[in-house]
Amino acid sequence: MPKTVPDQAPEPPRLSWGKVSLPDNEPGLFSLGHLRLWLKFFDGDLWLCPVQAAETEAEIALPAAPNWQRWTLGKRHGQLEIVPALPDLPLVINPEDPLHLPPGIECQIYVSIPLWVELQIGKNSLLRVPTLQLSKTWFGNFVAGELCYALTTRARRVAGRGAPDPWIVHCPITIHNGDDENLDVEKVRLEVSRLSIYEYEQARWANQVRVHYRGQRHFSEIDIVNGPPSEVSRAKRIRKSRVAPHRSFTAKTFSSLADLAGLDFFNR
Amino acid sequence: MNWPLLNLDMLMTPEMTSRILRIALLLLAGLPLVYMAAGWLRSGLSKKFTPQRAMIGGKVVQYGGITLIGVMLLHEFGFQLGALLGTAGIVGIAIGFASQTSVSNIISGLFLIAEEPFVVGDIITVNNLTGEVLSIDTLSIKLRTFQNQFVRIPNETILKSEVTTVTRFPIRRIDLLVSVAYKEDLERVRNVLMEIAAQHPLCLKEPSPQLFYEGFGSSSIDIKLGLWATREDWLRVKTDIFERVKKRFDEEGIEIPFPHVSVYTGSVSEPFPVKMADGDAKG
């Protein structure tokens, strides 16, 4: 467990988004959400040590035996940049209280996605770490599927009120039930690699996602709306999507609980 | 000395010219065509099937084409194919009897490739031997065990044995047997174990961890905790969870009992009577 900073400990240089500039052999700290990312340059090498704090406000000292990752950057030393990113795996969004949509009904929910922090040199990524460590989950059945992060959300119907959390990206998702049966929204898979990040008045947003559900046996049709969401139409794009956002694509989006029923547990 | 003159006019009859042209065509165009067709098929199949199946498809076309060209060439040279095939059949039977085991292994290998119970890179268990499949060859498969030993298993043995492909599916369950003392509150134990599972980032949230009671043991209540992880993380999660359970149980004061025997004298609830002997105790 990382130790709390003692009173007499000198305050480390604080780093923020953009180019990294630090004196040699003096560790700097980038702090966001639960992430405390320590960086230092020593003899021309870059040393990195990401630590996850239990609380967002907790001050974390550099661990006594830091688990440094060492990078040799050569002449690209000065190009090091800290940029915001989205998770490196798709998300399985699990509303705290499941939504139920009758046929033909459409609703919009807002999902809060924890930001990731990426260290880049030009287009090369050195490290991508979360501001909140999410558990992994499986989307599919026992034979085939996809590894995702599990994200429990309140699935608010109104955009976040109050001061924006700097480590959260708001993503508006519109779900339309195009089937002739009720849709139980218990788990929604969200392909975040197709989303860009936008900034408006210190709040971060992702593209609006429209999901058209066509029944359990069919893939859902998914639209990624180009540009910032309508709520923040003047927002500025600060990070382009990792995968080119096709206007429309199909994917399995809503999981069937029957696929992963615990019955298999007894088959020893 | 008078050398016999070679009469080219006699040799270059229209029939002979056409035969030479056919042979040249078979050799110069037929063979490259067969190799090209095999290559195309291999690359085409590899997009939809495994590399092994693509390789087999390519080989079938390649060997089939070469055999066909060979037969056509022999025909052009004037060999009687019927007699030749008859001789080949007799020779084949003789060789077959002499190499039954090899032939059996070759045929078993074809079945293994067609059925595909595992592919190169999979981890399999055969007859209590576990290792990574290095290759699936004509006569045998080659394994690398975790002790880094090289093991060759004949294809026939594989076909006759029960084979477990450990890495076939992308997720695996970890079964952890936990024993707690009879005095423990089982609901509390359940909550602690579920919390340990939920706090491990590599332990999958879905399929959800499950817990059930194995039975009342001689010294403990035995619990089985089932957790899921990807096949890549399986060993790490298993090791981590084991350590975390022990640490957390120590913190929570949950007893993991060792086998013990209760001795009592006639009554279930009465303690074993201990008497202090009067006088000097020696020894």
What tens digit of pLDDT does each residue of B144-194 get? 999 999 999 999 999 899 999 999 999 999 999 999 999 999 999 999 999
Instruction: Give the DSSP per-residue string, A93-148.
Output: EEESS-EEE-TT-EEEEEEEEEPEEEEEETTEEEEEEESSPPPEEEEE-SSSEEEE
Task: Say if B169 is an interface residue toward chain A (CB within 8 Å).
Answer: yes
Residue B265 lies in a domain: no
For residue B27, is it within any domain?
yes
Q: Model-level pTM? A: 0.74
Better pLDDT: B102 or B250: B250
Q: B230 and A147 in contact by Cβ < 8 A?
A: yes
Contact criterion met (CB below 8 Å) for A231 and A204: no
pLDDT, tens digit (0-9, with 9 covering 90-100), for A142-185: 888 889 999 998 888 887 677 788 899 999 999 998 888 888 88
Is residue B30 within a helix (H) or strand (E), and if so which, with residue range? none
pLDDT of A257: 42
Q: Which residues of A touch B208 (CB under 8 A)?
A: 260, 262
pLDDT at A248: 56
pLDDT tens for each residue of B23-53: 888 889 888 999 999 889 888 887 877 766 7
In this predicted structure, the answer to whether residue B281 has a pLDDT above a threshold of 90 is: no
Is B268 inside a domain boundary? no
The pLDDT of residue B267 is 65
Specify the residue for token string 């001050």: A59
Q: What is the pLDDT of residue B5?
A: 58
Residue of B nearest to A141 (CA): B207
* Greatest pairwise CA separation for chain A in angstroms: 66
Burial class (CB in 10 A: 0-12, 13-18, 19+), B215: exposed
Whether B122 has a pLDDT exceeding 60, the answer reads: yes
In this structure, the answer to whether residues B177 and B247 fall within a common structural domain is: yes
Where is A166: in which H helix or E strand? none
User: pLDDT at residue B283 above 70?
Assistant: no
Q: A38-41, long-range: CB within 8 Å, 24+ apart, which pairs?
A: A38/A12, A38/A62, A38/A66, A39/A15, A39/A119, A41/A77
Do B177 and B223 form a contact (C-beta atoms < 8 A)? yes
Residue A268 at interface with chain B, using a CB cutoff of 8 Å: yes
Cα distances (Å, whole numbers) of residue B222 to B189, B212, B219, B257: 11, 9, 9, 10
Same domain, B177 and B232: yes
Residue B223 has pLDDT above 60, yes or no: yes
Q: What would the DSSP string read from start to end of B78-127?
A: T--HHHHHHHHHHHHHHHHHHTHHHHHHHHHHHHHHHH-S--TT-EEEET
CA dist A10 → A62, A71, B173 (Å): 11, 26, 47
Range with the poorest average pLDDT among A78-87, A98-107, B11-20, B121-130: B11-20
Nearest residue on chain B to A147, alpha-carbon basis: B230
Measured CA to CA, the distance from residue A214 to residue A221 in angstroms comes to 8
Q: Which residues of chain A have pLDDT under 50?
A: 1, 3-6, 256-268
Range of the domain at B228: 171-252
Residue B110 covered by a domain: no
Judge if B68 and B135 occupy the same domain.
Answer: no
Q: How far apart are CA A89 and CA A221, in angstroms?
A: 20
**Residue B254 three-state SS:** coil
**Does residue B97 lie in a domain region?**
no
Q: Quick one: A78 exposed, middle or buried, by C-beta within 10 A (0-12, 13-18, 19+)? A: exposed
Please say which residue of B138, B165, B192 terminates a domain: B165
Q: Do both B148 and B192 map to the same domain?
A: no
User: How many Å apart are CA A16 and CA A30, to the nearest integer?
Assistant: 6
Count the Cβ atoms, other than its own, within 10 Å of residue A215.
Answer: 14
Stretch B239-252: mean pLDDT: 94
Q: How far is B202 from chain A (nearest CA, A)?
A: 6
Q: Is the pLDDT of residue B100 over 70?
A: yes
**B204 shares its domain with B237:** yes
Q: How big is the A-B interface in CB pairs under 8 Å?
A: 52
Query: Are A150 and B202 inside 8 Å of each other by CB?
Result: no
**Beta-carbon separation of A136 and B230 below 8 A:** yes
CATH number of domain containing B137:
2.30.30.60
The enclosing domain of B193 has a CATH number of 3.30.70.100
Q: How far apart are CA A253 and CA A218, in angstroms?
A: 10
DSSP bridge partners of A125: A120
Q: Reduced to 3 states, what is the DSSP secondary structure of residue B271?
A: coil
pLDDT of residue A75: 73
Q: Pairing state of beta strands A168-177 and A91-95?
A: unpaired
Q: Same structural domain for residues B154 and B198? A: no
Pairing of strands A168-177, A203-206: parallel
Same domain? B53 vs B78: yes
State chain B's maximal CA–CA distance in angstroms.
Answer: 141
Residue A258: count other Cβ atoms within 10 Å of its Cβ.
Answer: 9
Determine the pLDDT at residue B9.
65
The reply to whether B241 falls in a domain is yes
**Chain-centre distance for alpha carbon B150:** 15
The pLDDT score that the predictor gives to residue B57 is 79
Within a domain: residue B274?
no
> What's the pLDDT score for residue B264?
67
Tell whether ipTM is more than 0.90. no
Please tell me the total count of domains within chain B: 3
Contact at CB, A138 and B204, closer than 8 angstroms: yes
CB-based contact, B194 to chain A, within 8 Å: no
Amino acid A261: pLDDT: 38
Q: What's the confidence (pLDDT) of residue A148?
A: 93
Residue B201: which of A136, A143, A264 has the nearest Cβ? A136
Q: Is the dihedral of CA B257, B263, B267, B271 positive or negative?
A: negative
Mutation site, B204, B205, B232, B251, interface A, largest A CB count within 10 A = B205
CA atoms within 13 A on the CB side of A169: 31
Tell me if B163 sits within 8 A of B154, measured CB to CB. no
Residue B32's beta-bridge partner residues? none
Query: Is B269 within a domain?
Result: no
